[in-house]
C-alpha cells in the first residue's frame, strides 16, 4: 500500500512540477511559413520560418481606415492571446499598447478568438468571436 501511495505521489509531483504545455504544436507559430488572415477585423499576421520572433509574430490591422502594425502574443501554457499595436522595434512592453485580448480555439486551419472585454484595451467595439484563417505563404509565392 505504501508503494502504491508513493508511486502516485511521485507521479503527481512530476506532472505538476514540469512545464507541460497542453497547446504545444497547436498554435499558429507551430506552422511556419503561414499567414493568418481575418476578414472580420481586416487583420493578418505572418509566421516566418527564419524570423527570430516566431512566437510574437508581426502583422497588420486596419484601424480607423489606417494600416497599423500589430504584434500577436500567445501566453505560454494557456490558450490566451493578446494583440498589441506595435510602435517600434524593441521587444519589450514600452513599444506596444494592448488593442484586445481573448481566449483561443486552435486548429490547423483556423484560429478562433473569443474576445475578452478588458478596460485596458484600446479596441472595445469588436465582434465576440474573431476567426483567422491559415494561408500557406509558399503556395501564395508559387501562384504569383
Q: Is the pLDDT score of 78 beyond 60?
A: yes
- List of domains in the chain: 22-143 (2.40.128)
Per-residue pLDDT band at 119 (split at 50, 70, 90): confident
Quote the pTM value.
Answer: 0.78
b/e code 3-42 from CB counts within 10 Å (16+ = b): eeeeeeeeeeeeeeeeeeeebeebbbbebbbbbbbbeebe
pLDDT surpasses 60 at 105: yes
Residue 45 CA from chain centroid, whole number? 10
Tell me, what's the pLDDT at 137? 85
Per the prediction, the chain carries an average pLDDT of 83
Digit-coded pLDDT (tens) for 2-21: 778 667 767 666 666 556 66
Residue 54 has pLDDT above 70, yes or no: no
CA pair distance 123, 97, nearest whole angstrom: 11
With contact defined as beta carbons under 8 Å apart, do 87 and 95 qualify?
Answer: yes
**pLDDT at site 95:** 77
Amino acid at each position: 500500500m505504501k508503494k502504491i501511495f508513493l508511486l502516485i505521489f511521485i507521479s503527481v509531483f512530476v506532472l505538476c512540477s514540469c512545464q507541460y504545455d497542453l497547446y504545444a504544436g497547436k498554435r499558429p507559430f507551430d506552422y511556419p511559413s503561414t499567414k493568418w488572415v481575418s476578414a472580420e477585423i481586416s487583420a493578418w499576421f505572418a509566421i516566418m520560418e527564419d524570423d527570430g520572433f516566431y512566437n510574437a509574430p508581426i502583422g497588420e490591422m486596419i484601424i480607423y481606415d489606417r494600416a497599423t502594425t500589430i504584434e500577436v502574443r500567445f501566453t505560454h501554457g494557456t490558450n490566451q492571446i493578446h494583440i498589441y499595436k506595435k510602435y517600434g522595434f524593441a521587444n519589450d512592453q514600452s513599444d506596444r499598447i494592448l488593442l484586445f485580448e481573448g481566449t483561443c480555439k486552435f486548429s490547423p486551419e483556423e484560429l478562433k478568438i473569443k474576445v475578452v472585454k478588458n478596460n485596458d484595451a484600446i479596441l472595445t467595439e469588436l465582434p465576440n468571436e474573431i476567426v483567422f484563417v491559415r494561408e500557406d505563404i509558399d503556395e501564395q509565392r508559387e501562384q504569383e
